[in-house]
């Protein structure tokens, strides 16, 4: 089996594959959106943490200034201790997690605040030393402390305000990103849903329309334009069902015809036997008279011959209406087919050649007389169909039902004939005049013939079909006007072993 390319695998798919692919695509997109959302929330969490750190720094600096003012007003040692504590906390917060301040691009302002806080610390320490020794520069140092205090508060507030603005912008950006992502995901989900709906509903609508046509009486083989495995399997089963319905309809009509013909033929044959016997007896008696004139003897001879011919026709009609049990036996086809051809050797003219191609070991379990009768009828019809120089080919082999055989004219139960089992196939092919589609619909009807009067009564192909049906086989016909015909007799292979 040739390997399929990537595009062929993409086309030759099933509905299950399409649904699973759609679910996988939507699931993948949803997972991707969840991952992006998780990363966004993690980034927002880090930014909020940095903003909290900035707020804590501003709060520590404000507490430092508050106790600084209390110290200048009340000169209490407790206020000095609290001021030292909050200055130390401000320094710790300023130096903690320095990598986070890069989120808000605050490095220049951060360094400025750090320098201002260092100046504030040194000035405050100088003021405390001078305050303890009651030096004359205490007032100047106090003024410097107030000045540096205002600077660090202004810088901290500016940093906090910048961080807050940056956080608001990031939250807006992340919100827009989530909205766009959700919109894109929703669009993709709608697109995938539309694709799946179109992929599934269009074939279903096509099947519904085909079913309605069948319900309306337009029984035809379905050929879906879709490559989905489920629909191809469904249409294959449906086509087999339609073939079975057609076959059953033909068999029903044929059975009704045969029932009516059987009743009529049996009565007519019995009624004709008595007068034919009387005519034959009277003719024999007259032929034995010595004073019969020569021309009278010729006339009586013709009467006798036609009476015998009429008796043979009546016998054939009776044989058609009677059912004889099959007497199966192992038949070597390499022997049976030449024997059958030899029976018609006197009718094979020099311009006609008959070729037989069969394996020596090929055998068939069948009724020899019935099978030979069917083959004789087919070969005789092939001889009659030849015009001038012609070739008849008889071939036998083991084969399975080929795809192109589905379009041939089929006789037999579709449920039996379309199985994937092996068949023993005997084919009789000629290059004669061929047949039209209209003729193919009637060639197996009893008493239907295209031959001239006196050259057949139209039971040959009917007997062929009956023999194949009795053996549980199928009959396929392929014919084209001007290019000849091919009759294939299919017999179940499991019944062939001796």
Is position 314 within any domain? no
Side-chain-facing half-sphere of 28: CA atoms under 13 Å: 8
Is the CB of residue 413 less than 8 Å from the CB of residue 247?
yes
Does one domain contain both 11 and 131?
yes
Does one domain contain both 25 and 174?
yes
> What distance separates the 2 farthest-apart alpha carbons in the chain?
189
Does one domain contain both 180 and 234?
no
Per-residue pLDDT of 79-106, as tens digits, reads 888 988 998 888 888 777 555 556 556 7
Q: Which two tokens stand for residue 37?
A: 């959302």
Residue 453 in 3-state DSSP?
coil
pLDDT for res 98: 59
Is position 212 within any domain? no
Does one domain contain both 126 and 238?
no
Count up the domains in the chain and report the number: 3
Q: Which residue(s) pair with 63 in the sheet?
A: none
Does one domain contain both 363 and 403?
yes
Is position 213 within any domain? no
Counting other chains too, the contacts that 186-192 makes at CB distance below 8 Å and 24 or more residues apart are: 188/25, 188/26, 188/29, 189/26, 189/29, 192/22, 192/25, 192/26
Does one domain contain both 181 and 236?
no
Sign (positive or negative) of CA dihedral 433, 439, 443, 444 = positive
Does one domain contain both 151 and 254?
no
Does one domain contain both 276 and 349?
no
Is position 214 within any domain? no
Is position 461 within any domain? yes
pLDDT for res 399: 83
Q: d(Cα 89, Cα 70) in Å, to the nearest integer?
A: 18
Q: d(Cα 270, Cα 267) in Å, to the nearest integer?
A: 5
Q: d(Cα 446, Cα 443) in Å, to the nearest integer?
A: 8
Domain hosting residue 420, numbered range = 326-495
Domain CATH code at residue 468: 3.30.565.10
Is position 318 within any domain? no
Question: Tens of pLDDT along the chain (498 residues)?
Answer: 344 444 344 444 666 676 777 778 777 877 887 887 788 778 777 777 777 877 888 898 899 888 888 888 888 888 888 988 998 888 888 777 555 556 556 777 878 888 888 888 888 888 888 876 767 777 888 888 888 888 888 888 888 888 788 778 878 887 888 788 778 878 877 887 777 677 777 777 777 777 777 777 676 676 766 666 667 777 777 777 777 777 677 667 666 666 666 666 666 666 777 787 778 787 878 777 777 777 777 887 888 777 877 776 676 666 655 666 778 888 898 888 988 888 888 777 777 888 888 888 888 888 888 888 888 888 888 888 887 678 889 999 888 777 666 556 666 555 566 666 788 999 999 988 888 888 887 787 777 777 766 566 677 788 888 888 888 888 888 888 888 899 999 898 764 443
Residue with tokens 């030849």: 386
Is the CB of residue 163 less than 8 Å from the CB of residue 50?
yes
pLDDT for res 45: 77
* Boundary of a domain, candidates 268, 302, 336: 302
Does one domain contain both 263 and 163?
no
Q: Measuring CA to CA, which residue among 308, 322, 260 is closest to residue 463?
A: 322
Is the CB of residue 160 less than 8 Å from the CB of residue 62?
no
pLDDT for res 324: 66
The Cβ of residue 396 has, within 10 Å, a number of other Cβ atoms equal to 20
Does one domain contain both 190 and 234?
no
Q: d(Cα 264, Cα 434) in Å, to the nearest integer?
A: 33
Length of the chain: 498
Q: d(Cα 386, Cα 426) in Å, to the nearest integer?
A: 20
Is position 317 within any domain? no
Q: Which residue(s) pair with 332 in the sheet?
A: 363
pTM of the model: 0.46
Is the CB of residue 243 less than 8 Å from the CB of residue 418?
yes
Per-residue pLDDT of 396-455, as tens digits, reads 988 877 766 655 666 655 556 666 678 899 999 998 888 888 888 778 777 777 776 656
Is position 46 within any domain? yes
Does one domain contain both 70 and 24?
yes
Does one domain contain both 238 and 337?
no
């Amino acid at each position: 089996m040739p390997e399929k390319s990537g595009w062929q695998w993409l086309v030759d798919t099933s509905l299950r594959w399409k649904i699973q692919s759609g679910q996988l695509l939507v699931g993948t997109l949803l997972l991707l959106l969840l991952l992006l959302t998780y990363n966004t929330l993690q980034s927002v969490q880090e930014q909020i943490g940095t903003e909290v750190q900035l707020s804590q720094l501003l709060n520590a600096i404000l507490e430092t200034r508050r106790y600084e003012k209390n110290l200048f007003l009340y000169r209490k040692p407790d206020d000095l201790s609290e001021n030292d504590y909050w200055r130390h906390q401000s320094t710790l917060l300023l130096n903690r997690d320095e990598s986070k301040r890069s989120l808000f691009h605050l490095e220049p302002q951060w360094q400025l605040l750090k320098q201002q806080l260092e100046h504030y610390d040194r000035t405050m320490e100088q003021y405390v030393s001078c305050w303890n020794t009651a030096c004359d520069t205490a007032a100047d140092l106090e003024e410097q402390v107030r000045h540096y205090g205002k600077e660090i508060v202004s810088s901290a507030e500016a940093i906090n305000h910048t961080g807050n603005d940056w956080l608001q912008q990031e939250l807006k950006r992340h919100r827009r990103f989530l909205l766009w992502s959700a919109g894109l995901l929703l669009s993709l989900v709608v697109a995938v849903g539309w694709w799946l709906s179109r992929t599934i509903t269009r074939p279903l609508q096509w099947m519904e329309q085909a079913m309605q046509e069948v319900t309306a009486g337009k029984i035809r083989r379905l050929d879906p334009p879709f490559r989905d495995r489920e629909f191809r399997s469904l249409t294959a089963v449906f086509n087999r069902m339609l073939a079975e319905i057609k076959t059953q309809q033909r068999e029903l009509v044929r059975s009704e015809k045969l029932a009516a013909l059987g009743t009529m033929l049996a009565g007519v044959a019995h009624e004709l036997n008595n007068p034919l016997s009387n005519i034959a007896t009277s003719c024999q008696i007259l032929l034995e008279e010595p004073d019969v004139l020569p021309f009278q003897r010729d006339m009586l001879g013709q009467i006798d011959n036609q009476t015998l011919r009429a008796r043979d026709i009546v016998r054939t009609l009776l044989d058609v209406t009677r059912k004889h049990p099959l007497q199966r036996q192992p038949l070597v086809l390499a022997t049976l087919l030449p024997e059958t051809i030899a029976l018609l050797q006197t009718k094979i003219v020099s311009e006609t050649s008959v070729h037989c191609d069969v394996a020596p070991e090929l055998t068939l379990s069948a009724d020899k007389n019935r099978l030979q009768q069917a083959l004789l009828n087919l070969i005789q019809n092939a001889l009659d169909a030849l015009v001038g120089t012609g070739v008849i080919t008889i071939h036998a082999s083991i084969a399975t039902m080929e795809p192109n055989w589905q379009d041939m004219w089929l006789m037999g139960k579709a449920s039996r004939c379309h199985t994937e089992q092996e068949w023993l196939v005997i084919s009789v092919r000629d290059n004669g005049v061929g047949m039209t589609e209209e003729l193919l619909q009637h060639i197996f009807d009893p008493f239907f013939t295209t031959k001239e009067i006196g050259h057949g009564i139209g039971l040959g192909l009917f007997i062929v079909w009956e023999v194949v049906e009795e053996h549980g086989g199928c009959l396929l016909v392929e014919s084209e006007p001007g290019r000849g015909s091919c009759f294939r007799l299919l017999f179940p292979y499991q019944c062939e072993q001796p």
